[in-house]
Amino acid sequence: MFDGVTLETLAMLLALAYLVLAMRENSLCWYCAFVSTALYVWIFGDVSLYMESALNAYYMVMAVYGWHQWRGGGEQGHGVALCQWSCQRHIMMITGVFVASALSGYILAVSTDAPFPYLDSLTTWGSVLTTFMVARKVVENWLYWLVIDSLSIYLYIDRGLYQTAGLFTLYLLLALLGYLQWSKAYRKQNVKASRQGTGELEKLEKDH
């Protein structure tokens, strides 16, 4: 029978495996994500972080969606390619996160014993958006995680989840490395696409 500490340790190790595999664009990351987040649904609910618990239920759904997108989404069913969002789209999405956080934060403040309703809501809605960005391979997702993880560390320390707080401290470094790695891969992807486009154009010109 697992106790709370053992469950948190297992969830932490699986979450770390998810992040390392995600950095390498390995679709196996979504299997680790599914099991880890299932454990965190219970762990966070047990310490009254209700939005965090609900967030991990969402993560379970996104693990299935992300696996499908990485394995069979994108053009010709070969999996989605790395991409970047425009500045306008980032502003629109961030605004949506703040609005949703204000609404859910107020609901938590008046109807639950959540200790940090607005901060809990902000990290939750930010994570909802950013997880979708990971599933769609948006390069900037790692920059979002830097902010979200920093805020989450404070929440976890306050609730006594020290192992998870330590994990998220490591996440800060891995998020930075993930951004650098995905940015490099994105540039290589564009160079390859450009060369292929040039080659196809030259072939068409020769044929004519």
Sequence spans of domains, the chain: 4-71+109-193
Is the pLDDT reported for residue 5 higher than 60?
no
Is the pLDDT reported for residue 67 higher than 90?
yes
Tell me what percent of the residues of the chain surpass a pLDDT of 90: 59
Q: Are 169 and 150 in contact (CB under 8 A)?
A: no
The reported pLDDT for the residue numbered 75 is 61
The reported pLDDT for the residue numbered 168 is 87
Q: Are 109 and 118 in contact (CB under 8 A)?
A: yes
pLDDT, greater one: 45 or 75: 45
As a whole number, mean pLDDT of residues 73-88 equals: 81
State the average pLDDT for the chain.
Answer: 87
Band of the pLDDT at 167, cuts 50, 70, 90?
confident
The reported pLDDT for the residue numbered 197 is 65
pLDDT, greater one: 202 or 102: 102
Handedness of CA 184, 153, 101, 132 (dihedral sign): positive
As a whole number, mean pLDDT of residues 97-123 equals: 92
Band of the pLDDT at 77, cuts 50, 70, 90?
low
The reported pLDDT for the residue numbered 74 is 60
DSSP character string of 116-183: SHHHHHHHHHHHHHHHHHHHTTBTTHHHHHHHHHHHHHHHHHHTT-HHHHHHHHHHHHHHHHHHHHHH
As a whole number, mean pLDDT of residues 97-103 equals: 97
Is the pLDDT reported for residue 26 higher than 70?
yes
